[in-house]
Structure 1
Amino acid sequence: MAGFRFQSLQAGRGLAALAVVLYHAADTITLPKYIGPDPTGLLAYFLPGHAGVHYFFVLSGFVIYHVHGHDRGAPAFSNFIWKRTTRLVPALWVWLAVVTTLLYLQPGAAAEAFGLRSVLQAFSLIPVEQEVVLKVEWTLRHEMLFYVLYALYVLYRPLGAIVLSTWFAGSLISHLADASFPYDFVFSPFHLLFLSGIGIAHVLSRRRIPAPHMMVAAGFVALAVAWLRDPGYRVDGLNGQLIGFGAGATLMIAGLTELDRQHRLPYSVLLGHLGDASYSLYLTNLTIISASCKVATIVNGKYGLPPLVWFCAAVATSVAFGWLFHRYVERPLLRMLQRGRGHAQRNREALVRWI
């Protein structure tokens, strides 16, 4: 099963990234400094799109265990570190370089709001109390923490199992304590979503998941209920939102992966491409949406178009830019790094044979 490619997960990845884009566009375009409130109230229905983050976290736990569940030892450890780092860091660093340059070029308070320390924290992916350079980076910091702890499990399973178990237990009970940074970061309830994904992959590796259609339907209902009852954006606490979106994502991924394994799902080329570009889309969307809103504010003084029109324009611009960034930056970087590692490995093998 480790070599099986789940097409449904790639499509879901694309939809989750699109949901985040919809959330950011609806939230940003209606700010007073841009277009302002939406008189129709339609844009408010896109604000729960931050649920895409919950899907990403569950999916990350699934993928890590599905691909690396049987990895162990020093060679597997180095391979895991290489794969996870090259997947996350190169595209991030390129985009951070762009964003940092743009922020420094802005006059006044925008350029003075951050310094060298903030930039170094952004590039290092270490835990921070508040995002300054790239607002969406908070999720990547949690991802990196998960990768580091799982790497211990790959290197030495007894120790890694204890560390991961303690981490998940701490994340479960942390909402009971009034913890401050860095404890509220290290033991965030969001980490339980990684555990949900690991659980799906573990079950799937041993048996069939029963009633997958019913699971997908139940997951959709859970997501829909949480979406409609969304009380506002929160990233802390074991609240109903986290439980609702997390349970919905877990049930949907469990059902879809089983249906995918049974070849009972159609494949959408469009959603597949969107899934391929999901990381680039997630990285770049808020910056591009903010830039689109600045342009919209200037142009809207002349035309007076409703917020919904500018919302659609911002979403379309963000998706197009995200795909272009994936096509011409992220994907070439990954291929270059893979080729470089392959050449280095062949050179080491040749040297060993020569010695």
Structure 2
Amino acid sequence: MTTMRDVAARAGVSTKTVSRVFNDDPHVLPHTRALVEQAMRELNYVPNVLATTFRAGRTSVIGVAVPDIVDPFFASIARAIEDVARGRGLSTLVTSLGSDPEGERPAIESMLGRQLSGLVIAPVGVDHSWLERWREHTPIVFVDRAPVGLDADTFVEADERGAVVAVQHLIGHGHRRIAYVGDAVHLSTEANRLEGWRRGLAEAGIAADAELVRSGVSDREAARQAVAQLRALDDPPTALFSANARCSMALAAALRDEPLAIVGFGDFPMADVLTPALTVIDQDPYRLGTLAAERIFDRLGGAEPAGPAVAVIDVDLVERESCRTGAAPV
């Protein structure tokens, strides 16, 4: 691991000067500061965060706020953040935000009030402009879902493109009546996936039928009702695109006796052993969490540019049996 002594040797200064640069001492000459910062970047220097956070009055804890820690997707993100933090000598504090946008701010402010070293959020709210004052002294990174009303470090998946791939894959199997089944369409992830569903159909010359859109599907009963409503249409779908893993798990039970072809956005444990095994758009949540945690430490170490960065992580189709299931299209 690179030390402060290594940085000092590369920059040709003392270790005390490196420390002064890292702590933003205004008395360091601009030329010297530039040399030290360049050496930090070249050596990928991460300082002793425990000592730094103690001096800054922060706890040696990274906060993690996700909608539901029981959800396998968000649990994987949290685990990745914990692994990175533990490797740097910090612990994590994890909370579930739930699904109510109104409850997001008090839950997050409660965490930030603990003087965290940094915070990673997978948001459920519709306005994050209030976080601007917190971001001045606490690194905040958004993951999976982009913030609203705030420019901040963000790591998201290629939601729209993934939905296009899923829909076009079903079209490739002969389907033209493809339903969209989702949960909270006000979230950026689902809004983008719904747009991808529309675009995937449009690129194949198929009109998007609003009757084929079902939202609010977050449990088995809602999935059962959604499937029953879709089957009752005069021109029912022969295939489904599921917008997230929670919907897919609920739909697996609803489709058990009368399967339809389906592709789900997001893999989950046991998806590959279902009957039929579920074809998915794989998101790699562990990588998302790792990138988010590493950005927190980059910010703490002063190695990143001053402006926020938005990264879109690509997704991949994992083909199994479910995309070839169900009634043959006519």
More helix by share: 1
CA radius of gyration, larger in: 2
Q: Of the two structures, which has the highest relative contact order with CA contacts closer than 8 Å and spacing of 6 or more?
A: 1
**TM-score, structure 1 as length reference:** 0.23
TM score, norm. by length of structure 2:
0.25
Which is richer in strand?
2
